[in-house]
Structure formats: structure tokens, C-alpha cells
Amino acid sequence: MRWTLQSKPEKEQVQKLQNELQVDEIIATLLVQRGITTYDQAKTFFRPTLDDLHNPYLMKDMDKAVSRIEKAIANGENILVFGDYDVDGTTAVSLVSSYLKSYYPNIATYIPDRYDEGYGISYKGIDYADDNGISLIIALDCGIKSIDHVAYAKEKNIDFIICDHHRPGNELPNAVAVLDPKRDDCTYPYDELCGCGVGFKLIQALAENRNQSIFDLIPYLDLVATAIAADIVPITGENRVLAKFGLEVINSNPRPGIKALVQNVKKKVLTITDVVFIIAPRINAAGRIKHGNEAVALLTEFNLEQAEIFASEIEQHNADRKDLDKQITVEALAQIENNNEKENFTTVLYQENWHKGVIGIVASRLTETYYRPTIVFTKSGDKLAASARSVKDFDVYNALEACAEHLEQFGGHMYAAGMTLKEENYQKFKDAFEKEVQKTIPPDLLIPEISVDLEINFSDINPKLIRLLSQFEPFGPQNMTPVFMTKNVKDTGYAKPLGKDNEHLKLFVKQNNSEGFGAIGFGLGSKLESTKNRKPFDVVYCIDENEFNGTVTIQLRLKDLKN
């Protein structure tokens, strides 16, 4: 691990904010590092309100989208709400369809089959619309590159409204409206929305048109917060507002589907991290193992008993998914060993019988193990399909773009992408991708980094600091849980390994004569030797509160330590 200490902001800027907010230097420094330099920005950060959301009509084509939907309703047309099979897509379909159904009955939903149709808008989905007399398709979390599909639909007199957040290509589909804040010609003030977030802006515009206020839409925010968490988009600006109020709905009055998923969780208050690790994998498991329709059925079910039945089925899919991804990860690691590719700059693997639903998770696991851009392929019909994952600060989408001649299609983000290619092009692509990454990746990006916000002393840690840090939530990309470094600490002799393979480490640490803190280091069991015999060492950590038997204590969650 390389520890990268963020550079300290200008002292005058920190002091000015310190004085304006009446907070200590640590809090003011953390705020300035996050781009918050004025009283008003800090007020918005600490006290976000729904009034901070932008006018949805600032998004290019929003007026066209609303006008076409209102026309469809006035004419009694059938509308199909179409979305991707992952969390972002299924939550978006659940959001838009349940909102429209609240005042108009002729609404159907469609999630493509991951195995039969693949990612995005499908010809099969358009044929389904044609067979069922549907004249308008609202596509969510997909469609920005579906030029041919939209043209095919037009031949059948079916209109499209695209709501996407992926990067557009050089040409936009010929849809009635293309809502995507990443369009070059879209001046919408915030371009980091997820697909469900773009769907929310659409229902916000429709609601305005119907004299509803933003408060009428609060019940839908549990879906938006779930998508924001699952899609790993920045928790800044509008996403921060939507995530904060969505978490409040999840914790106070979630829809029956989400309530059924979390009813056995013993935590009093769920955080974004809990959504990422508890809710999102279960929703995803439906599309990975069976069909994304099951996720939509769960999220749009308003009878709790029925939702509990759906949730138990999805729980089984999630258990199956865990077994599959463990098994495939073992096989993939063995393949890397056998191929003698440990020195490569990339990991690119293929096995025809790997389950398409879990190759993205396997790619993530391999990235954690070898820490380099990773692509995992499997057979999908007569082609190969793959999921790509990247390392911090390396844009895998750009690398794929440079190898596009070998690909049939691809799409995604900086850190995650999907693609298909012909089997005969696999080796050519693999070689080209390795060459491209070798050429473009700075070597230090291949060493895992811990980004440290600030060096502090244990004497700086007190209940007031922790109370203020808790107000930085919800945490996520570009607003991560603050990471601190403290030098010259010692274990007081209580260090011991934990876990069935001694993979974790439990300590009680002090610095000089400061108050000591319990510390837990997940995955740091091998560092036990560094803490023995009262040898001093440096630690990087997050500050947690640990509740045990009704007593709350401060606990340090160690990320690394070294002498």
C-alpha cells in the first residue's frame, strides 16, 4: 500500500472558514479539501434541503420528453418503461413506472434478459412493444448509443425517450428526447446523476406539470438513494441531496420491497455503506441469477406479505450468486497462475462456461487481488461478453475506446464497463488492451493507494469531532469517510489476531500519554508482528463508534499500519 497524504489547503482559507463556522482546524481543513470554502457552501453541505435540487427543465430535451408523455396519456397510448437489469436500471424502471401508474393505467415494464438479450435496448424488447400495441418507450439507464435500435423502432411507429447517464458517442439516437446530462450540448448544472437519478428528474418535471411539489415525490427517494449507492456515483451536489433524503426514507418509511430486504438487519440506522453491501447485491442478484423482472416486481409491490415472498426468493438468488462468484474467482486465480501472467499490466481472462451474471463481481475481486485493470469474458450466444473493472484514477473506458476495432460493442464508465466481441478477436483484443494499458498507465497506479486526508494526534479525537464528522454523511465517491494518519503509536499489549484464519487484527493503541483507543484492522492479521514488544508504528484509519451491550465507544478502523 502507498499512503498518499493530501496536500494541506492554504492556511488563510482554512482559518477564514474556521472563524465563519466556529469549528476547529481539522473540520475546516476537511471541508476545504472537499471544495467547501464559504459559509453558504458549508450550510448546503451540512444542511441539504430538497430546495437545493435543480429545475428539471434545465436538462436538454426535458420539455420534449414531458410533452410526448402528456400527449401519450391524452391519447390513451400504451407506454413501455424499459431499463437495464442492474440496480440502477431496475430501480429506475420501478420509479418511473410506479409514478406514472399512480395516475395512468396503460403502463408496462420491460427488463431485458441478461443472457438472451444482453445489456441495453434490445430488438426483442422493441418487438414486444410492437406486438402489444405500445407506441412510446421510455428507456432508463441505457440507450445513449442505441442508434440502430431507435431507428428500428421508428420503422414500427414506436417513439423513444432516452434517459441515460453514460457517455454518448459521436452521434445521438434519433429519439423524441434524449435526457443525458453528459451530452456535450446539455448545460444541466450537475452531470453525475445515475440512471435512476435522470429518471427522477423526469418524474420531477412531470410532477411540476401536474402542480405537484417535490414533497409529493419523497416516497420515491428510497429507490434513488439505492441506485446512487449501487452505481458508485459521486456523493456531491444533487446526488448528496437525493442520497440524504432517500436514506431517511429507507430508515423511516421504505417501500415494502426494501422493508422486506432489510427487516432482519439488526442496525438501527442504515448508511450508504449498508445499502451498498446489503440492499444492492440482493436487487442485483435477481438479474444475475434469474431475471431483472423479479427486482422490479419486488420494488413495485405494495403488499408487505407478498413483498416478503419476493424478498425470500431474491435472498436465495443472492446465496446462489455468492457460491458462483467464489467458485469462479478460484478458477480465475488458477488461470492467472497457469498463464504466468502475474507480471502483466492487465488481467484478461476467458472461460466459456463462467456464469455471465457474476463476471463483474469476479472482475472486482481479481482487481483487489492483483490491482490492475481487469476484464473477465464468458461465452454469450455466438459471441463473448465481458465485464471490466479498473483501478483508482485509470480510465478503462478510454483504454477500451483505443481497442474498439476488435470489439463489437462496449459502454460504461471510467471504472466499470461491459463489452462484446467475436471469439476470433479475443486474443487480438487481449494483446491490444495489454499494450494500451502498458502505454498509458502511470506505474504508481498499479500500487494500491490509501488516500489520507490529514495527519492528527490521538489527543485531537473527542466526542465533538466525531459528532461533526457524522454530519459529513452520506459518504461516497468525492466525499469519502475521512482517513487520518497518526504517527508513533504503540499497542498496550492487547494485540491479537481475529477470524478463523487469523486474518484480522485487534489492538488497543496509545500515542504518548493520550487516551487509548480500541482498533480493529480487517485483513491486517499479518501485521501482528509489527505491533509487538511496544514497538512504535504509524497508522492510517477511520474513526468509528462501536456499540456493544448498549455502551458506545470510539473505535479506530485501521486501513494499514507500518513501522
Question: By three-state DSSP, how is residue 466 classified?
Answer: helix
Cell 455471465 -> residue: 356
Q: Are 379 and 458 part of one and the same domain?
A: no
**Rounded-to-integer distance, Cα 61 and Cα 212, Å:** 21
**Rounded-to-integer distance, Cα 278 and Cα 262, Å:** 8
- pLDDT above 90 coverage of the chain, percent: 84
Q: What single string gives the DSSP state of each residue in 40-101?
A: HHHHHHHS--GGGSPPGGGSTTHHHHHHHHHHHHHTT-EEEEEE-SSHHHHHHHHHHHHHHH
Q: What value, to the nearest 5°, has the Cα angle with vertex 127 and ends 93 and 167?
A: 50
Query: Does residue 550 have a pLDDT over 80?
Result: no
Q: What is the pLDDT of residues 153-177, one digit of tens each?
A: 999 999 999 999 998 989 999 999 9
196 alpha-carbon distance from chain centroid: 12
Query: E strands along 319-371, which residues?
Result: 347-350
**CATH code: domain of residue 64:** 3.90.1640.30
Question: How many Cβ atoms from other residues are within 10 Å of residue 305's Cβ?
Answer: 9
What is the pLDDT confidence band of residue 513, given thresholds at 50, 70 and 90? confident
What is the pLDDT confidence band of residue 549, given thresholds at 50, 70 and 90? confident
With contact defined as beta carbons under 8 Å apart, do 332 and 362 qualify?
A: yes
Query: Of 426, 446, 466, which residue constitutes the final position of a domain?
Result: 446
Q: Are 256 and 165 part of one and the same domain?
A: yes
Residue 319 lies in a domain: no
Query: Does residue 117 have a pLDDT over 90?
Result: no
Query: Of 446, 473, 492, which residue constitutes the final position of a domain?
Result: 446
For 100-112, letters b (16+ CB in 10 Å) and e give bbeeeebbbbbbb
Q: What is the pLDDT of residues 198-249, one digit of tens each?
A: 999 999 999 999 999 999 999 999 999 999 999 889 999 999 999 999 999 9
**Rounded-to-integer distance, Cα 93 and Cα 97, Å:** 6
Among 342, 357, 414, 349, smallest CA distance to 376 is for 349
Q: Are 279 and 306 part of one and the same domain?
A: yes
Q: What is the pLDDT of residues 381-399, one digit of tens each?
A: 899 999 999 999 999 999 9
Q: Which residues partner with 82 through β-bridges? A: 110, 139
With contact defined as beta carbons under 8 Å apart, do 346 and 437 qualify?
A: yes
Query: Does residue 96 have a pLDDT over 90?
Result: yes
With contact defined as beta carbons under 8 Å apart, do 328 and 359 qualify?
A: yes
What is the pLDDT confidence band of residue 459, given thresholds at 50, 70 and 90? very high
Question: By three-state DSSP, how is residue 279 classified?
Answer: helix
As a whole number, mean pLDDT of residues 265-290 equals 90
**CATH code: domain of residue 442:** 3.10.310.30
Q: What is the pLDDT of residues 300-332, one digit of tens each?
A: 999 999 999 999 999 999 999 999 999 999 999
441 lies in which domain range? 340-446
Quote the pLDDT of residue 343.
83
- Residues sharing a CB contact under 8 Å with residue 526, sequence separation 6 or more, in sequence order: none
Structure-block grid coordinates of residue 399: 483504454
Structure-block grid coordinates of residue 415: 471504472
Q: Are 142 and 268 part of one and the same domain?
A: yes
Q: Are 134 and 37 part of one and the same domain?
A: no
Q: How many domains does the chain have?
A: 3
Share the mean pLDDT of the chain. Answer: 94
What is the pLDDT confidence band of residue 114, given thresholds at 50, 70 and 90? confident
Among 68, 164, 168, 83, smallest CA distance to 122 is for 83
Axis crossing angle, helix 237-252 with helix 221-230, rounded to the nearest 10: 120
As a whole number, mean pLDDT of residues 328-349 equals 90
Quote the pLDDT of residue 338.
87
Query: Does residue 548 have a pLDDT over 80?
Result: no
Residue 19 lies in a domain: yes
Query: Of 446, 466, 490, which residue constitutes the final position of a domain?
Result: 446
Q: Are 207 and 353 part of one and the same domain?
A: no
Q: Are 295 and 376 part of one and the same domain?
A: no
**CATH code: domain of residue 546:** 2.40.50.460
Instruction: Give me the phi and psi of 187, to 5 degrees please.
Output: -100, 20
Structure-block grid coordinates of residue 162: 432516452
**Rounded-to-integer distance, Cα 380 and Cα 221, Å:** 35
Quote the pLDDT of residue 299.
97
Q: Cα–Cα distances in Å, from 342 out to 151, 332, 369, 437?
A: 45, 12, 11, 15
Q: Cα–Cα distances in Å, from 186 out to 170, 181, 453?
A: 14, 6, 34
What is the pLDDT confidence band of residue 413, given thresholds at 50, 70 and 90? confident
Quote the pLDDT of residue 339.
84
